[in-house]
Structure 1
Amino acid sequence: MATAVKVDENAKSRLEELQAEIRIQTGSSVTQQELLTRLIDDAYESREAVIDSFRESRVPLSDGEKETMQRGRFSSGVETGEEDIDEILYG
């Protein structure tokens, strides 16, 4: 059973370009339905990456978030070098 899915013009155009490239490079014609099914199957296999792509980005920080982080900083008066950090982290 086929169901209609609405996509914007840009996505439709890119789907058609991919469909044409498959035909040129492989000599095989695929329908847009076959292509979408393959893309969905591939995305399902790497679904964590797909899910992560919809998460709200936290980088770069907003100006307000930067200010909040800086308010909590203070100087201990001790110089800390890379060797010190390595010693603390790795013993």
Structure 2
Amino acid sequence: MSSSVDVSDRTKRRLEQLQAAVEEATGREVSQRELLDRLVGEGYDSKAAFVASFRDAGESDSDDWEGLSEDERDAFLAGTSDWGVETSEDEIDRTLYGK
């Protein structure tokens, strides 16, 4: 039986990152189906803890942003440079918003 499940972009990205980590650590290719089978299996085997994780999470944590990783922050900041000029908030507002 084959079916599909719509997942958020964030979940898809995280699944791909997990897949890459498993492949790097094990040296073998792993399909996303294998990952999902294993994740669901582990959740099923630990039903009480899995159900409790929903109780503890409140309404919905699916939209909570976890922030950037240290590598992502470093990559972002690598594109910046200090021109040695102090810029005030008013100057920034004038430049961005014409105020």
Which TM-score band (shorter chain)? Answer: 0.5 to 0.7
TM-score with structure 2 setting the length: 0.54
4+ residue runs of structure 1 moved beyond 2 angstroms? none
Choose 1 or 2 for highest CA Rg.
1
> 2-side partners of 1:16 and 1:57: how far apart?
24
TM-score with structure 1 setting the length: 0.59
* Percent of pairs with identical residues: 43
* Corresponding pairs, count: 58
Q: Deviations over 1:41-89 (max 9, x none)?
A: 011111111101112668xxxxxxxxxxxxxxxxxxxxxxxxxxxxxxx
Structure 2 gaps, min length 5: 59-99
AA of the residue aligned to 1:43? G
Over aligned residue pairs, what C-alpha RMSD do you find?
A: 1.7
Equivalent residue for 1:22?
22
